Chain A
Amino acid sequence: MKKWTHEDVIDSIRNSGKVKPNTLVTTSSRFEQDLGIDSLDLVGILLDIQDDFGFEWTDREISEINCVQDIIDILNKRSQTNAA
């Protein structure tokens, strides 16, 4: 799995084309309520992150995602597992 920073994740979401221009994306942004992203949009974002960072999401991980921070937490967990 590629090395990454919080900014990489936020950039990936911002550049996905699913978030309206001028929308503030922070780690606490909730996909549906704050960013107006629905299930199909989220698929696009998760696939972009999957391609950019070189791994495959599990069903369980997908079910845990509500906000940007959730993605960061999952990536953290994966990084720790890879390092161990």
Chain B
Amino acid sequence: MKRRGSNIRKFLMRYFVLPAVRLLPPDRAHLAIEKIGRAEFYLNSRFRQHLISSIEEAKSRLGVSWDTLSTARLVAGRTTRWRLRDLLLDGKNSQKFLESFIVNGQENLENAIAQGKGVILLSNHFGAHLQVANWMLRRGIEFRFLTERPRSLSKVLDKYFRSEGPLGQKDLFLSRHKSGNAATASIMRALKCLKAGHVVLTTNDVRWNDNRSVIGTLMGIQWRFTSTWVMLAQRSQAPVVPVFCSMRPDGRHELSFLPAEQFAPDADHTKVIQQSLDRLQAMINAEPGNAMEFLDWPLDRSAGTLEVRVTPIETTPGQIIPAPHFDLAGKPVLSDADLTGNSH
């Protein structure tokens, strides 16, 4: 029933709302979509209640003082904008599109590219993360994605993602469902792309469970995160440029390229990843309205083995409760070694 409702909403959005909203300039189109999300916030009590619970939970874990209701309204609007990925861009000319961006630190990206070692563009799921790719595409910057293939894309980006050949994008995508050595081949390809001087866009906030995943804290909880991007940076010695793309209240996007970092071959993965997560957390704390992806994490029961939990302990006969792994201030109550040893 829930899926049916969601499919009806998608159908209406794609075939009735989008064609009309696309006639507006990009910034006004995005604002119009946000208004639809805010209307849903008022009309759909379950959605409203879920958002409010997520924000309250996040506030208590992070010790931040966001205004719950205004944050929830903002997140509701941005969630609808976020769900549309970049579908609003079909038919938009590059000039109009680029005008809807405020870009900070572009020189950081340009200087990194000029080094000729390729660039790892370290993105995340904060704000309008897919717009980074669109911006680069329309600026003529050669790039590749080392991520799972995003769904529901604009025609332009979809076409770009179908490129084949030794350095093509099609076989570079990662998937949790691919078997055999597909992931190995993708990562080896990414290294070739870096060697060829391309920008490889990847993310630092992917919760993952393999031999090389490391424990990091985000949203006040410890999870396992992939360390693939650190390994890539160490092997290629390519500069790593962190990037954030915020949705602005005026309907535009703000793209921020931070100064490039370089990692020694023996750099500690856990430290490097935690530093990058801390930077992301600071952005989330400052702009919760762009944290649509993360506000759900503390309530995410589907993350399974990705969250680092300790083995449940028996307290009284017949009663099993999970041992808390954070105190009331959100600090871990066990050492990393304890958590690693007991995680499942």
Contacts and interface: CB of A to CB of B under 8 A. Distances in A.
Interface of A: 18, 36-44, 46-47, 56-57, 59, 62-63, 65-66
B212 A63 contact: no
A63 B180 contact: yes
B235 A62 contact: no
B181 A40 contact: no
Nearest to B232: A43
Contacts of B211: 18, 36-38, 40-41
The 4 A-B residue pairs whose C-beta atoms are closest, nearest first, are A39-B183, A40-B212, A62-B185, A39-B184
Task: Indicate the size class of the contact surface on chain B.
Answer: 20 to 34
A57 B90 CA distance: 39
Given A47-B191, A47-B235, A62-B188, A42 B181 contact: yes
Interface of B: 166, 171, 180-185, 187-189, 191-192, 210-212, 226-228, 231, 235
21 contacts: A38-B210, A38-B211, A38-B212, A39-B184, A40-B183, A40-B184, A40-B211, A40-B212, A41-B212, A42-B181, A43-B187, A43-B231, A44-B231, A46-B184, A56-B192, A59-B171, A59-B188, A62-B185, A63-B182, A63-B185, A65-B181
Nearest to A41: B211
A39 to B, nearest CB: 4
Interface of A: prevailing SS: helix
A62 B184 contact: yes
Given A38-B210, A39-B184, A47-B188, 20 more contacts: A36-B211, A38-B212, A39-B181, A39-B187, A39-B210, A40-B211, A40-B231, A41-B212, A43-B187, A43-B231, A47-B235, A56-B192, A59-B166, A59-B185, A59-B189, A62-B188, A63-B181, A65-B181, A65-B184, A66-B180
Contacts of A44: 231
Contacts of B192: 56
B187 A40 contact: yes
Nearest to A42: B184
B190 to A, nearest CB: 9
B79 to A, nearest CB: 32
Contacts of A56: 192
Contacts of B228: 40
A57 B171 CA distance: 15
A59 B226 CA distance: 22
Nearest to A39: B183
A57 B184 CA distance: 11
A19 to B, nearest CB: 11
A41 B183 CA distance: 11
A6 B180 CA distance: 24
Nearest to B191: A47
Given A40-B231, A59-B171, A46 B212 contact: no
A80 to B, nearest CB: 23
A18 B235 CA distance: 15
A57 B188 CA distance: 9
B35 to A, nearest CB: 44
Nearest to B189: A59
Nearest to B187: A43
A39 B178 CA distance: 11
Nearest to B213: A40
